[in-house]
Amino acid sequence: MKRLAATLACLLFVAVAAADSLNCRLVGTCDTPGWAFAVAVSGSHAFVGDFQVGLRVIDVSDPADPQEIGFCDTLGQVSGVAVAGDYVYAADCAGSLRVVDVSDPENPRQVGTGETPGYAYHVAVAGSHAYVADLYGGLRVIDVSDPADPQEVGFYSTPHDAFHVAVAGDHAYVANLAGGLRVIDVSDPADPQEVGHCETPDVARGVAVTGSNAYVTADTAGLRVIDVSDPENPREVGFCDTPGNAFRVTVAGNYAYVADNFSGLRVIDVSDPENPREAGYYDTPGYAEETAVVGRLVYVADYACGLQIIEFNGGTGVEEEPGRPVAGRLPTVIRGVLSLPRDMTDFGPAKSDRVPRPALLDASGRKVMTLTPGENDVRHLAPGVYFVSPGDSRDPGGGKSNTSKVVITR
């Protein structure tokens, strides 16, 4: 019943509302039967860790119409996935790493299991080894050179729960909740050793590494940028707050794509690591848990609302994306021009001046200008959130009861 209610809420969100967004638009969605918690993409397929109902394989060759084509019940609760070649490695929570052969995407099958002593929560794969963030079991290093017979070869007991892991070169970077970021030398997989750490202002939940920087999602403290050029002395160099609870992060090019839980997808420009800034967002209908990025498309595991596929336009100036319009009657703002659909209010010649006119309201509900069907220049207004009301707010039925939100930026 809870799952049905959540699904209906997601459908209602898509059917009747434009998402709060900036420089992003919804391309497609695919519901899943469980709780979409993790996602990885390879080629034309997305692999979704659907928590209690295993691994789902979704054909995304047409991003506007993604379709589930196969699944594998891993028996546990899949909270992390990594894909390498013909195999998906699933952190299955119930104390194990599951290896799934996806060479036939319509018929994925489990071929191997690597037991862990803790709670296998996330996994990264590099070369012939899988690195499992095993919560209270710390970091486990598993040899997967034989996918049918994965074997643990080493481990490191982190001071707090190992929640998320990324691997770059000879180092594994562990988001260690209250322990911040831990940097572990894995040049000898049989004897991993911590060489450095960096505290975070709130619990470290996710980590991605590119170049000389680690990007750590720190719950209510947003995204933290940590210089790891000296692994023994990692240090924070910048940060960007997010409105939700920053959970996991993917970095591609100059952008970090943060799964911000109840605040959806947040896109952070990290071209200047010391001054990261938000470049876009899309408030998904569920709870954004993880992201995967291919080109301009962002794949979001959105918990009860399945897989959401969102296009980020690279910050080229679209302030509000209408998503799926309500009968084609939602206003949009593009490059300082607010376009009001001509059928939003009937202004026939027989109408008197007393007929309520569309109005633009500020966040307090105060009218800032009267609107006309078609294009309205709003470049003189301060950046912020505004509401389009189909009737003047001074008239009966006006105000914010039947409004559409738009965002004006510079």
Distances (CA, A) of 144 to 114, 243, 346: 9, 39, 66
Per residue in 344-387, pLDDT (tens digit) is: 544 444 344 445 678 888 766 778 888 888 788 888 887 777 77
Q: Is the pLDDT of residue 401 over 60?
A: no
Q: For residue 396, give the amino acid letter.
A: P
Same domain, 354 and 307: no
Task: Indicate the pLDDT class of residue 334, thresholds 50, 70 and 90.
Answer: low
Is 271 domain-assigned?
A: yes
Distances (CA, A) of 105 to 56, 108, 150, 252: 10, 6, 22, 26
Q: Is the pLDDT of residue 57 over 70?
A: yes
- pLDDT on residue 314: 78
Is 325 domain-assigned?
A: no
Task: Indicate the pLDDT class of residue 17, thresholds 50, 70 and 90.
Answer: very low
Judged by phi (left if over 0) then psi (alpha if -120 to 50, else beta), residue 335 lies in left
Same domain, 245 and 337: no
Least-confidence region, from 69-73, 123-127, 394-398: 394-398
Boundary residue ending a domain (251, 283, 312)? 312
Same domain, 302 and 340: no
Same domain, 308 and 339: no
Q: Which two tokens stand for residue 12?
A: 């209602």
Boundary residue ending a domain (312, 347, 372)? 312
d(CA 29, CA 387): 27
Same domain, 258 and 340: no
Is 318 domain-assigned?
A: no
Domain membership of residue 402 as a residue range:
332-408
Same domain, 282 and 206: yes
Q: Which two tokens stand for residue 16?
A: 């009747």
- pLDDT on residue 114: 96
Mean pLDDT of 280-290: 96
Q: Is residue 234 within 8 Å of residue 227, measured between CB atoms? A: yes
Per residue in 157-183, pLDDT (tens digit) is: 999 999 999 999 999 999 999 999 999
What's the DSSP call for residue 395?
S
Same domain, 263 and 388: no
55: Cβ–Cβ under 8 A, 6 or more apart, which residues? 47, 48, 49, 71, 72, 74, 78, 81, 88, 90, 98, 100, 108
Distances (CA, A) of 299 to 59, 196, 294: 12, 32, 8
Is 214 domain-assigned?
A: yes
60: Cβ–Cβ under 8 A, 6 or more apart, which residues? 28, 41, 44, 45, 46, 66, 299, 309
Is 290 domain-assigned?
A: yes
Mean pLDDT of 143-147: 98
Is 321 domain-assigned?
A: no
Is 22 domain-assigned?
A: yes
- pLDDT on residue 403: 66
247: Cβ–Cβ under 8 A, 6 or more apart, which residues? 205, 206, 217, 219, 258, 259, 260, 261, 288, 289, 290
- pLDDT on residue 297: 96
- pLDDT on residue 325: 37
| 2 three-state secondary structure | helix
- pLDDT on residue 323: 38
Same domain, 130 and 279: yes
Q: Is the pLDDT of residue 400 over 50?
A: no
Q: Which two tokens stand for residue 18?
A: 């434009």
Same domain, 27 and 154: yes
Q: Is the pLDDT of residue 16 over 70?
A: no
Same domain, 351 and 217: no
Q: Is the pLDDT of residue 5 over 80?
A: no
d(CA 339, CA 332): 5
Domain count, the chain: 2
Same domain, 380 and 283: no
Q: Is the pLDDT of residue 42 over 90?
A: yes
Q: What CATH number is associated with residue 116?
A: 2.130.10.10
126: Cβ–Cβ under 8 A, 6 or more apart, which residues? 167
Task: Indicate the pLDDT class of residue 76, thresholds 50, 70 and 90.
Answer: confident
Per residue in 121-136, pLDDT (tens digit) is: 999 999 999 999 999 9
Least-confidence region, from 280-289, 309-318, 321-330: 321-330
Own/partner pairs for 98-101, CB < 8 Å, 24+ apart? 98/55, 98/74, 99/144, 99/147, 99/148, 99/150, 100/55, 100/72, 100/74, 101/147
Mean pLDDT of 8-34: 74
Own/partner pairs for 375-381, CB < 8 Å, 24+ apart? 375/337, 375/338, 375/339, 375/340, 376/337, 376/338, 376/339, 376/340, 377/336, 377/337, 377/338, 378/333, 378/336, 378/337, 378/338, 378/408, 379/336, 379/337, 381/408
Is 269 domain-assigned?
A: yes
Q: Is residue 132 within 8 Å of residue 116, measured between CB atoms? A: yes
Q: Is the pLDDT of residue 326 over 60?
A: no
Task: Indicate the pLDDT class of residue 221, thresholds 50, 70 and 90.
Answer: very high
- pLDDT on residue 2: 42
Same domain, 356 and 253: no
Mean pLDDT of 267-290: 96
Distances (CA, A) of 400 to 128, 181, 371, 404: 57, 44, 15, 8
Boundary residue ending a domain (284, 312, 340)? 312
Q: Are strands 87-91 and 96-101 parallel, antiparallel or unpaired?
A: antiparallel
- pLDDT on residue 19: 59
d(CA 46, CA 59): 7
- pLDDT on residue 322: 40
